[in-house]
Protein backbone atom coordinates (compact mmCIF):
# COMPACT_ATOMS: atom_id res chain seq x y z
CA UNK A 1 0.00 0.00 0.00
CA UNK A 2 2.92 2.29 0.70
CA UNK A 3 4.09 1.60 -2.80
CA UNK A 4 0.78 2.88 -4.10
CA UNK A 5 1.34 6.30 -2.55
CA UNK A 6 5.03 6.38 -3.45
CA UNK A 7 4.43 5.41 -7.06
CA UNK A 8 1.57 7.90 -7.49
CA UNK A 9 2.45 10.95 -9.47
CA UNK A 10 2.06 14.37 -7.79
CA UNK A 11 -0.46 15.50 -10.43
CA UNK A 12 -2.84 12.77 -9.41
CA UNK A 13 -2.52 13.63 -5.72
CA UNK A 14 -3.10 17.32 -6.44
CA UNK A 15 -6.14 16.48 -8.63
CA UNK A 16 -7.50 14.22 -5.91
CA UNK A 17 -7.06 17.04 -3.35
CA UNK A 18 -8.85 19.53 -5.61
CA UNK A 19 -11.76 17.11 -6.11
CA UNK A 20 -11.93 16.53 -2.35
CA UNK A 21 -11.96 20.33 -1.75
CA UNK A 22 -14.77 20.92 -4.29
CA UNK A 23 -16.82 18.02 -2.89
CA UNK A 24 -16.46 19.51 0.58
CA UNK A 25 -17.57 22.94 -0.71
CA UNK A 26 -20.59 21.37 -2.46
CA UNK A 27 -21.53 19.54 0.75
CA UNK A 28 -21.45 22.82 2.72
CA UNK A 29 -23.51 24.59 0.04
CA UNK A 30 -25.99 21.69 0.01
CA UNK A 31 -26.45 21.85 3.80
CA UNK A 32 -26.91 25.64 3.66
CA UNK A 33 -29.51 25.34 0.89
CA UNK A 34 -31.35 22.59 2.77
CA UNK A 35 -31.68 24.88 5.82
CA UNK A 36 -32.96 27.76 3.66
CA UNK A 37 -35.48 25.47 1.96
CA UNK A 38 -36.71 24.22 5.35
CA UNK A 39 -37.23 27.83 6.53
CA UNK A 40 -39.05 28.65 3.31
CA UNK A 41 -41.27 25.55 3.67
CA UNK A 42 -42.08 26.55 7.23
CA UNK A 43 -43.05 30.08 6.15
CA UNK A 44 -45.10 28.70 3.24
CA UNK A 45 -46.96 26.27 5.51
CA UNK A 46 -47.69 29.03 8.04
CA UNK A 47 -48.93 31.31 5.25
CA UNK A 48 -51.11 28.67 3.64
CA UNK A 49 -52.59 27.49 6.92
CA UNK A 50 -53.44 31.10 7.75
CA UNK A 51 -54.04 32.66 11.08
CA UNK A 52 -57.02 32.25 13.36
CA UNK A 53 -57.92 28.85 11.93
CA UNK A 54 -58.58 30.15 8.39
CA UNK A 55 -56.68 29.07 5.35
CA UNK A 56 -55.57 31.41 2.59
CA UNK A 57 -58.63 30.70 0.44
CA UNK A 58 -61.00 31.72 3.24
CA UNK A 59 -58.95 34.86 3.90
CA UNK A 60 -59.07 35.82 0.22
CA UNK A 61 -62.85 35.32 0.10
CA UNK A 62 -63.21 37.47 3.21
CA UNK A 63 -61.04 40.21 1.66
CA UNK A 64 -63.01 40.11 -1.60
CA UNK A 65 -66.28 40.46 0.33
CA UNK A 66 -64.89 43.46 2.21
CA UNK A 67 -63.66 45.04 -1.03
CA UNK A 68 -67.11 44.54 -2.56
CA UNK A 69 -68.76 46.19 0.46
CA UNK A 70 -66.33 49.10 0.34
CA UNK A 71 -66.99 49.53 -3.39
CA UNK A 72 -70.76 49.68 -2.80
CA UNK A 73 -70.31 52.17 0.04
CA UNK A 74 -67.98 54.26 -2.16
CA UNK A 75 -70.64 54.46 -4.90
CA UNK A 76 -73.21 55.58 -2.31
CA UNK A 77 -70.84 58.28 -1.02
CA UNK A 78 -70.08 59.48 -4.54
CA UNK A 79 -73.81 59.78 -5.20
CA UNK A 80 -74.29 61.77 -1.99
CA UNK A 81 -71.35 64.05 -2.85
CA UNK A 82 -72.79 64.70 -6.31
CA UNK A 83 -76.16 65.59 -4.72
CA UNK A 84 -74.43 67.98 -2.33
CA UNK A 85 -72.51 69.60 -5.20
CA UNK A 86 -75.75 70.12 -7.15
CA UNK A 87 -77.42 71.68 -4.10
CA UNK A 88 -74.38 73.79 -3.26
CA UNK A 89 -74.77 75.80 -6.47
CA UNK A 90 -78.01 77.23 -5.04
CA UNK A 91 -76.52 78.06 -1.63
CA UNK A 92 -75.19 81.45 -0.61
CA UNK A 93 -71.51 81.47 -1.48
CA UNK A 94 -70.66 85.13 -1.92
CA UNK A 95 -71.15 87.86 0.66
CA UNK A 96 -70.31 91.54 0.48
CA UNK A 97 -70.83 94.01 3.33
CA UNK A 98 -70.68 97.81 3.21
CA UNK A 99 -71.19 99.99 6.27
CA UNK A 100 -71.81 103.68 5.76
CA UNK A 101 -73.22 106.83 7.22
CA UNK A 102 -76.57 107.46 5.50
CA UNK A 103 -77.09 110.93 7.00
CA UNK A 104 -74.56 113.61 7.84
CA UNK A 105 -75.88 114.21 11.34
CA UNK A 106 -75.60 110.51 12.39
CA UNK A 107 -72.17 109.03 13.10
CA UNK A 108 -70.61 105.58 13.50
CA UNK A 109 -71.55 104.12 10.08
CA UNK A 110 -74.68 102.46 11.45
CA UNK A 111 -76.32 101.99 8.03
CA UNK A 112 -75.37 98.93 5.97
CA UNK A 113 -75.85 97.02 2.74
CA UNK A 114 -75.27 93.26 2.58
CA UNK A 115 -75.24 91.32 -0.68
CA UNK A 116 -75.67 87.53 -0.47
CA UNK A 117 -75.31 85.62 -3.75
CA UNK A 118 -75.19 82.03 -4.91
CA UNK A 119 -72.87 80.61 -7.56
CA UNK A 120 -74.99 82.10 -10.39
CA UNK A 121 -75.02 85.57 -8.79
CA UNK A 122 -78.64 85.15 -7.73
CA UNK A 123 -79.60 86.27 -4.25
CA UNK A 124 -80.60 89.34 -2.30
CA UNK A 125 -79.29 92.69 -1.11
CA UNK A 126 -80.35 93.84 2.33
CA UNK A 127 -79.98 97.48 3.30
CA UNK A 128 -80.52 98.96 6.72
CA UNK A 129 -80.84 102.73 6.90
CA UNK A 130 -80.34 104.22 10.35
CA UNK A 131 -81.30 107.74 11.36
CA UNK A 132 -81.69 109.36 14.77
CA UNK A 133 -85.48 109.00 14.61
CA UNK A 134 -85.96 105.67 12.84
CA UNK A 135 -84.41 102.62 11.23
CA UNK A 136 -85.60 100.97 8.01
CA UNK A 137 -84.60 97.71 6.36
CA UNK A 138 -85.00 96.91 2.67
CA UNK A 139 -84.47 93.77 0.63
CA UNK A 140 -84.01 93.67 -3.14
CA UNK A 141 -83.83 90.44 -5.13
CA UNK A 142 -80.83 89.88 -7.40
CA UNK A 143 -80.84 87.72 -10.53
CA UNK A 144 -77.64 87.24 -12.51
CA UNK A 145 -75.95 90.01 -10.54
CA UNK A 146 -78.67 92.59 -11.36
CA UNK A 147 -81.86 93.80 -9.77
CA UNK A 148 -85.02 95.08 -11.40
CA UNK A 149 -85.10 97.68 -8.60
CA UNK A 150 -82.81 100.68 -8.55
CA UNK A 151 -79.76 99.98 -6.40
CA UNK A 152 -78.00 102.59 -4.30
CA UNK A 153 -74.26 103.16 -4.65
CA UNK A 154 -73.68 101.22 -1.41
CA UNK A 155 -75.77 98.28 -2.61
CA UNK A 156 -73.83 98.19 -5.88
CA UNK A 157 -70.62 98.32 -3.88
CA UNK A 158 -71.79 95.39 -1.70
CA UNK A 159 -72.61 93.39 -4.87
CA UNK A 160 -69.15 94.15 -6.26
CA UNK A 161 -67.52 93.08 -2.97
CA UNK A 162 -69.47 89.82 -3.01
CA UNK A 163 -68.38 89.00 -6.57
CA UNK A 164 -64.79 90.10 -5.89
CA UNK A 165 -64.51 88.04 -2.70
CA UNK A 166 -65.63 84.98 -4.62
CA UNK A 167 -63.05 85.52 -7.38
CA UNK A 168 -60.25 86.12 -4.85
CA UNK A 169 -61.11 82.85 -3.10
CA UNK A 170 -61.00 81.00 -6.41
CA UNK A 171 -57.65 82.57 -7.31
CA UNK A 172 -56.19 81.79 -3.88
CA UNK A 173 -57.40 78.17 -4.03
CA UNK A 174 -55.56 77.54 -7.29
The contacts of residue 147 (CB under 8 Å, 6+ apart) are 125, 140, 141
Instruction: Tell me what pLDDT residue 148 has.
Output: 93
The answer to whether 115 and 127 have CB atoms below 8 angstroms apart is no
Instruction: Tell me what pLDDT residue 172 has.
Output: 44
Instruction: Tell me what pLDDT residue 7 has.
Output: 66
Instruction: Tell me what pLDDT residue 77 has.
Output: 97
Dist CA 98 CA 95 (whole Å): 10
Angle, CA 53 vertex, CA 51 and CA 55 arms, to 5°: 70
Task: Please say if the pLDDT value at position 165 is more than 90.
Answer: no
% of the chain exceeding 70 in pLDDT: 85
Taking all residues of the chain, what is their mean pLDDT, rounded to a whole number?
85
Q: What is the pTM of this model?
A: 0.54
Amino acid sequence: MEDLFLNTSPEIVIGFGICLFFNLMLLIANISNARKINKLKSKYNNFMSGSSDKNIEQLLELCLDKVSNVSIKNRELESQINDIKRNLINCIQKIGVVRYNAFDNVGSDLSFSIAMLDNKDDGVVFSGIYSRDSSSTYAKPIFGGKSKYTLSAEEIQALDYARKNSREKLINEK
